[in-house]
Amino acid sequence: MWPGFLEQWKAEEERQWIVTQGSGGGAEEQATPAVSRAPVPAPVIQANDTHQEKEKDKAKISKPDVDNTTLVYRGIVFQLNFDQTIRNEEKFKMTRKKDDLVVVVQVHNRPDYLKLLVDSLRKARGVDSILLIFSHDYWSPEINKVVASIDFCQVLQIFFPFSIQLYPQEFPGNDPRDCPRDIPKKDALKLGCINAEYPDSFGHYREAKFSQTKHHWWWKLHFVWDRVRVLKDHKGLVLLIEEDHYLSPDFIHLLKQMTALKREQCTDCDILSLGSYSHIGYSSKANKVEVKPWKSTEHNMGMALSRETYQKLIQCTDTFCTYDDYNWDWSLQHLTVSCLPSYWKVMVSEAPRIFHAGDCGMHHKKASCMPVNQKTKIENILQSSGNQLFPKNLLITKRLPANGAGGVAPHVKNGGWGDIRDHELCKSYVRLQ
Average pLDDT score, the chain? 85
Domain extent, residue 250, equals 68-359+368-429
Residue 433 among known ligand-binding residues: no
Task: Calculate the CA 254 to chain-centre distance.
Answer: 24
306 inside domain: yes
Q: Identify the CATH number of the domain in which residue 106 sits.
A: 3.90.550.10
23 inside domain: no
43 inside domain: no
Q: Is 61 exposed, middle or buried (0-12, 13-18, 19+ CB in 10 A)?
A: exposed
Residue 213 among known ligand-binding residues: yes
Identify which of 255, 422, 265 has the alpha carbon closest to the alpha carbon of residue 353: 255
Residue 154 among known ligand-binding residues: no
Residue 244 among known ligand-binding residues: yes
pLDDT, one tens digit per residue, over 79-129 is 999 999 999 999 999 999 999 999 999 999 999 999 999 999 999 999 999
Among 10-14, 107-111, 227-231, whose mean pLDDT is lowest? 10-14
126 inside domain: yes
Residue 106 among known ligand-binding residues: yes
Residue 108 among known ligand-binding residues: yes
Axis-axis angle for helices 141-148, 111-122 (nearest 10):
10
Residue 311 among known ligand-binding residues: no
Assess whether pLDDT exceeds 90 at residue 283.
no
**Measured distance CA(69)–CA(86) in Å, rounded:** 26
231 inside domain: yes
- pLDDT score at 400: 77
pLDDT band at 207 (very low <50, low <70, confident <90, very high): very high
- Percentage of residues of the chain with pLDDT beyond 70: 80
Residue 32 among known ligand-binding residues: no
Overall domain count for the chain: 1
Question: Could you tell me which residue, 342 or 321, shows the higher pLDDT?
Answer: 321
The residues pairing with 347 across neighbouring beta strands, listed in sequence order, are 272, 291
What is the CB-side half-sphere exposure of residue 44 using CA atoms within 13 A?
2
Question: Could you tell me which residue, 297 or 234, shows the higher pLDDT?
Answer: 234
pLDDT band at 401 (very low <50, low <70, confident <90, very high): low
- pLDDT score at 2: 37
pLDDT band at 409 (very low <50, low <70, confident <90, very high): confident
Residue 214 among known ligand-binding residues: yes
The rounded radius of gyration (Å) of the Cα atoms in the chain is 24
28 inside domain: no
User: What does pTM read for this prediction?
Assistant: 0.85
Looking at residue 288, the DSSP 8-state letter turns out to be E
**Measured distance CA(247)–CA(355) in Å, rounded:** 6
Q: Which helix (H) or strand (E) is 203 found in, with range?
A: none
Residue 259 among known ligand-binding residues: no
Assess whether pLDDT exceeds 50 at residue 26.
no
pLDDT, one tens digit per residue, over 30-49 is 333 333 333 333 333 333 44
